Each structure stands twice: as C-alpha cells, then as structure tokens.
C-alpha cells in the first residue's frame, strides 16, 4: 500500500463539526476564537510568551506558525452555525514511510471538554488512514496536561518524551510528549471514538 496526501481542499463532515481549509479571510474569526491567553498557556504556539493581544501581531505570528505550504491547515467550524471554533493541521507527511502528524491544534476555550476535539480527530485520523498512512503522530508540550490527557482519551499510545525539541517563546526548552495511532490500532480507536460520539452518549 502507498500513502498519498489527503486532498487539502476536502471538506470533512461530522455531526457537530465541519472541517474545511483555513483561508486567510478566516483569520479575524479565528482570532476571536483562539486569540486568548489561556489558549497559549498550555504551550500552544510556543507558550504564554507567544501570546499577542492585537489582531495584527497575532496574524503575523500565525502566518509564520502554521504549516501553510506543507500541511492541510484546517478551520474547525460548528455545523449548526458555521462559526469557527479552532484550527488543526494534518501535516509532516512522510509518504515513503507512510507517517503523518496531527498537530497545531487550538480551540476556543468555550468548546474545551466538548465533543469538538474527539470528532475533529476522528475525521482527521480517518482521512489519514483512508489515504494509506501507517502511523499518525500526536504530540504536546510535556507541561500541557490538558492536551496530553485529551490525546490519551482519543486512544493514542504514549511513546515517550523527546527532550529539548524546540525553544519556547520565553527561551526555555520544550520537552515534547509523543503519542501515535497505528493502522492496526485504528479499528479499535475508531470504534471507541464512534461510541463516544454516538448521540446517546452525548
């Protein structure tokens, strides 16, 4: 089996969220959703020191932060009203070794702890494995306990901690907790997520 990059223009539909390509015209609405100190507090974007409190500075930061050229950069929107509540990316495509990475994920605090993240990851993992990938990586700053717990709830397996992988915005070194889902694990992970997302489970 060979792996192919999923169509970056594809729209993925769930019952709660719709994932579509993030456009530059979406950035004001995305700023309203995630341009908050608490989003950066756990380590997203380089940590609290990366926070920018004006739209202009935040936009400049985001243009350099997201994998616009190499990844499938996605707007996470609510199906009921189309409102943008976050962003995530399927990227780091290694087609020869059939691996990819779901990351660069941030949500509006109002949807933390809801079904939004689980359904978003269900859709992206499905797109990756349907496209022939063998391994999908997820990771978080080792200090980001909320994100690490959310990754484990998805059914991903903890692989370990990579030390001093990158500099945070404040100049300290980030250690990165790495997780993955393998193709052979995907049916069980998918079934667990589908059960969690079933209407009667809400």
pLDDT score for 42: 85
6, part of any domain: no
4, part of any domain: no
pLDDT band at 59; cut points 50, 70, 90: very high
Q: How many domains does the chain have?
A: 1
The DSSP-derived string for 61-110 is: HHHHHS-TTTSEEEEEEETTT--EEEEEEEEEEETTTTEEEEEEEEE-GG
Domain hosting residue 171, numbered range: 12-201
Cβ–Cβ < 8 Å for 43, 143: yes
Residue 52, pLDDT above cutoff 90:
yes
Q: What rounded mean pLDDT belongs to the chain? A: 96
Q: What CATH code is carried by the domain that includes residue 193?
A: 3.40.630.30
5, part of any domain: no
Length of the chain: 202
In tens, the pLDDT along 108-137 reads 999 999 999 999 999 999 999 999 999 999
123, part of any domain: yes
128, part of any domain: yes
pLDDT score for 183: 98
- The verdict on pTM exceeding 0.75 is yes
23, part of any domain: yes
Residue 167, pLDDT above cutoff 60:
yes
Residue 142, pLDDT above cutoff 90:
yes
């Amino acid at each position: 089996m060979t792996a192919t990059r999923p169509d970056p223009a594809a729209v993925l539909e769930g019952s709660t969220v719709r994932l579509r390509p993030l456009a530059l015209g979406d950035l004001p609405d995305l700023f309203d959703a995630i341009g908050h100190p608490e989003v950066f507090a756990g380590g997203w974007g380089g940590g609290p020191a990366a926070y920018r409190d004006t739209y202009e500075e935040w936009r400049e930061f985001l243009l350099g932060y997201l994998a616009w050229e190499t990844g499938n950069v996605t707007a996470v929107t609510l199906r009921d009203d189309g409102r943008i509540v976050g962003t995530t990316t399927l990227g780091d495509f290694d087609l020869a070794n059939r691996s990819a990475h779901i990351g660069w994920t941030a949500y509006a605090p109002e949807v933390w702890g809801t079904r939004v993240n689980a359904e978003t990851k269900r859709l992206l993992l499905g797109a990756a494995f349907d496209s022939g990938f063998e391994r999908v990586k997820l990771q978080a700053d080792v200090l980001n306990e909320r994100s690490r717990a959310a990754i484990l709830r998805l059914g991903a397996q903890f692989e370990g901690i990579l030390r001093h992988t990158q500099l945070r915005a404040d100049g300290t070194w980030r250690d990165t907790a790495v997780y993955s889902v393998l193709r052979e694990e995907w049916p069980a992970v998918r079934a667990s997520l589908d059960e969690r997302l079933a209407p009667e489970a809400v």
